[in-house]
């Protein structure tokens, strides 16, 4: 019975997600669902992205957060349109929440839409929210055991971003092992090592976004 209820919830979510995806695709917007643990550096990666691509691509951001607007406040400093979804305790975003806020964005003048999910390595991976691709951010301070412990999110994500690579010498994080594990779970995944603090590897991330936007424009 529980299984059936879950299937129905996911089915309804997926219907709305498809509708959102169709609408955003019609406007040729490349949309990513940015996921990862609290503190992995999702918002910091976004800040680096905006610093680098402002003026080159027209970006918009949807910020999912349990209760606060702290991340949205950080984003709005860059002059990029941002809308906030407070899940009031909900541990992931669902498609209807995204659908509700889309009208607040100028989608006719957007190339790249980033939806930052609630910090969580588990259930965000289960819910499509209208994205073209999912991206997971994993920081080296979380440990390289995380891909094997939370395989679904890595399986679902087209890109895995290993962040805080500058801290590797101070941790037991084995980058090669993490890359091996991620590509075992998801052979075609793109794995990027970056440091949002030093800027190392950010170019590869920006190229991924540029390629996505170009592909979407046809």
CB-wise, 124 or 185, nearer to Mg ion? Answer: 124
CB 181 → Zn ion: shortest distance, Å?
23
Task: Report what 92 binds from Mg ion, Zn ion, none; CB cut-off 5-8 Å by kind.
Answer: Zn ion
Task: Report what 42 binds from Mg ion, Zn ion, none; CB cut-off 5-8 Å by kind.
Answer: Mg ion
- Residues making contact with Zn ion (CB under 5 A): 91-92, 123
Q: What is the 3-state secondary structure (H, E, C) of the chain?
A: CHHHHHHHHHHHHHHHHHHHHHHHHHCCCEEEEEEECCCCCHHHHHHHHHHHHECCECEEEEEEECCCCHHHHHHHCCCCCEEEEECCCCCCCCHHHHHHHHHHCCHHHCCEEEEECCCECCHHHHCCCCCCEEEEEEEHHHCCCHHHHCHHHHHHEEEEEEECHHHHHHCCCCHHHHHHHHHHHCCCCEEEECCCCCCCCHHHHHHHHHHHHHHHHC
CB 123 → Zn ion: shortest distance, Å?
3
Task: Report what 58 binds from Mg ion, Zn ion, none; CB cut-off 5-8 Å by kind.
Answer: none
Q: Binders of Mg ion: how many residues, by CB under 5 A?
A: 3
CB 153 within 8 A of CB 176: no
**Which residue matches tokens 């995806």?**
21
Task: Report what 168 binds from Zn ion, Mg ion, none; CB cut-off 5-8 Å by kind.
Answer: none
Task: Report what 179 binds from Zn ion, Mg ion, none; CB cut-off 5-8 Å by kind.
Answer: none
CB-wise, 92 or 190, nearer to Zn ion? Answer: 92
Site string for Mg ion, 38-57 (x = CB under 5 A): ----xx--------------
CB-wise, 92 or 146, nearer to Zn ion? Answer: 92
CB 123 → Mg ion: shortest distance, Å?
17
Q: Per CB under 5 A, which region of 6-14, 65-73, 134-142, 205-213 contacts Mg ion?
A: 65-73
Give the residues lining the site for Mg ion (CB under 5 A): 42-43, 71
């Amino acid at each position: 019975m529980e299984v059936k209820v879950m299937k129905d919830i996911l089915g309804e979510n997926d219907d709305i997600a498809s509708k959102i995806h169709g609408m955003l695709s019609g406007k040729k917007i490349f949309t990513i669902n940015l996921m990862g643990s609290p503190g992995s550096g999702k918002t910091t990666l976004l800040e680096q992205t905006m610093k680098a691509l402002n003026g080159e691509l027209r970006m918009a951001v949807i910020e999912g957060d349990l209760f606060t607007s702290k991340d949205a406040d950080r984003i709005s400093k860059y002059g990029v349109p941002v809308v906030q979804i407070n899940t009031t305790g909900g541990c992931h975003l669902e498609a209807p929440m995204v659908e509700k806020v889309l009208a607040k964005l100028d989608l006719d003048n957007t190339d790249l839409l980033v939806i930052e999910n609630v910090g969580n390595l588990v259930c965000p991976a289960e819910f499509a929210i209208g994205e073209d691709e999912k991206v997971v951010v994993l920081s080296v301070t979380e440990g390289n055991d995380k891909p094997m412990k939370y395989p679904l999110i890595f399986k679902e994500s087209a890109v895995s971003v290993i962040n805080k690579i500058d801290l590797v010498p101070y941790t037991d994080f084995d980058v090669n092992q993490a890359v091996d594990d991620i590509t075992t779970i998801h052979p075609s995944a793109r794995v990027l090592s970056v440091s949002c603090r030093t800027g190392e590897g950010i170019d590869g991330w920006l190229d991924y976004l540029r390629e996505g936007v170009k592909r979407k424009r046809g």
